Structure 1
Amino acid sequence: MEWIYEPWPWYVSGPMIALIMFLLLMVGKNFGMSSNLRTLCTICGAGNTADFFKFDWKAQRWNLVVVLGAVIGGFIGDQFLSMDTAVAINPETVSDLKSLGFESAGTAYMPFELFDISAFTDVKSLAVLTIGGLLVGFGTRYAGGCTSGHAISGLSDLQLPSLIAVIGFFIGGLTMIHFIYPLIF
């Protein structure tokens, strides 16, 4: 059972994702996590004020179960299946991150400097998280889906808009990490 404590290689996890995508395509479903935000807003009554939220949310219950499974699976993986929380990244990257003030780089999956509860008392961290969240939300709505929806579901369905969106995600990520990130930190 030691294999369950280690990251699974691409040749195991990749075909598993492909199998799930094949099954979803066979039953006419599109995978994407961001569509659940629309569903949750509709459940909370947002359809009373905006036409975008007027749709049959009950047809999306299956996708809410996916989100619940991701949350539960993440909790189980973190609490019971993770012996080592360090991320295997290039030592030069660790050095660069530490020079930018991320002392937890290379020892934790998510940097404590941004994701610890103390981030809510630091104005800079709070601003970065708020602005980043707004930009991700805007980009998701503007692109018509999130990275998982476009990169996994859209590309497997051979959709040109998804290919364009994925290229845009990569360009945006590269621009952020190489030019904007060093300016912020």
Structure 2
Amino acid sequence: MPLILHDLEPLHWAVAGAGIALVTLALLSVTSHRLGVSTGFENVCALVVKAPYFGRDAIRGSNGWRLPLLGGLVLGGFLSAVLGGGWEPTWALGMFDTEIGWGPAGKLAWMFVGGLLIGFGTRLAGGCTSGHGIFGLSNLELPSLVSTVSFMAAGAVTTNLIYRVLV
């Protein structure tokens, strides 16, 4: 089945899985660190906010590799968009616009509140979907299984609530 954009043929899912496994194993074997993106955002906050929470050793000691990881994620996404047929910034949110239609201020508020909830959830769970879903599950950690199932269930419930009940 071709991708939605530009009718490109997708790679087999196993290729992406093998790539994620290689990155995870390389990170663990070379640096002895766990993969996870949410702590990287804490590193970014620590550069700006001088609260004691951001001064703890787990945050201060991981700037050397987490900040380049975040930069690589942004750069990789940008390059993928450009090389995949072009990139054009837009405020269009598809179904959100047609069904809810709050305008630019409403979209900004929606994204801000969503970001706060995601941040709260990742701190409550002790990590994000990449940390728990990729690294924690591969180590057969029960808290990661509970967190990943919770993330997926919350996403399914929220999507159904918004698009089947509210709209």
**TM tier, shorter chain?**
0.7 to 0.9
Greater mean deviation of Cα atoms: 69-78 or 174-183: 174-183
What runs of 5+ residues in structure 2 fail to find an aligned partner? 1-7, 89-93
Q: Structure 1 residues 43, 58: closer, same or farther in 2, change over 3 A?
A: farther
What residue in structure 1 maps to residue 55 of structure 2? 53
TM-score by length of 2: 0.76
Q: State the Cα distance separating 1:81 from its structure 2 match.
A: 2.5
Residues 15 and 43 of structure 1: is their aligned pair in 2 closer, same or farther, counting only changes over 3 Å? same
Alignment match, 2:116: 134
- 1:19 deviates by 1.3
Normalised to the residue count of structure 1, the TM-score between the two structures is 0.69
Offset from partner CA, 1:6-64 (integer Å, 9 cap, x none)? 43221211111111112222241111111011112222352xx3245332625332121
In structure 2, which of residues 61, 71, 75 is the aligned counterpart of residue 72 of structure 1?
Answer: 75
User: 2:48 is aligned with what amino acid?
Assistant: C
| Equivalent position of 1:169 in the other structure | 151
Give the percent of matched residue pairs that are identical in Structure 1 and Structure 2: 36
Asked whether 1:10 is paired with 2:18, we answer no
Preserved contact between residue 32 and residue 148 of structure 1 (Cα < 8 Å) = yes
Q: Give the aligned length.
A: 152
**Which segment drifts farther, 156-165 or 19-28?**
19-28
- In the alignment, the residues of structure 2 paired with residue 51 and residue 127 of structure 1 have an alpha-carbon distance, to the nearest angstrom, of 26
Alignment of 1:21-36 (within 5 A): 21-27=24-30, 28-36=32-40
Structure 2 residue identity aligned to 1:152? I
> Would you say the 8 A contact 1:100–1:182 is kept in 2?
no
Q: Helix, strand or coil for the counterpart of 2:122?
A: helix
Asked if structure 1 preserves the Cα contact closer than 8 Å seen for 2:43 and 2:60, the reply is yes
**Which segments of 5 or more consecutive residues in structure 1 lack a partner in the other structure?**
86-96, 103-112
1:112-165 Cα offsets, whole Å, 9 max, x none, are x79xxxx533x3x23321221111111011111111111011112222111110
Provide the secondary structure at the position in 2 that maps to 1:161. helix
Conservation of the 8 A alpha-carbon contact between 2:37 and 2:131:
yes
Aligned pairs for 1:149-164 (under 5 A) are 149-164=131-146
Aligned counterparts of 2:23 and 2:139: Cα–Cα separation in 1: 13
Q: Which residue of 2 aligns with 1:38?
A: 42
What residue is the counterpart of 1:110 in the other structure? none
- Stretch deviating more after TM superposition (143-152 or 25-34): 25-34
Q: CA distance change for structure 1 residues 83 and 21 in 2, over 3 Å: closer, same or farther?
A: same
1:120 corresponds, among 100, 104, 116, to 104
Specify which of 66, 90, 93 is matched with residue 63 of structure 1.
66
Task: Please tell me the root mean square deviation across aligned C-alpha atoms, in Å.
Answer: 2.8
**Is this contact kept in 2: 1:24–1:31, CA < 8 A?**
yes
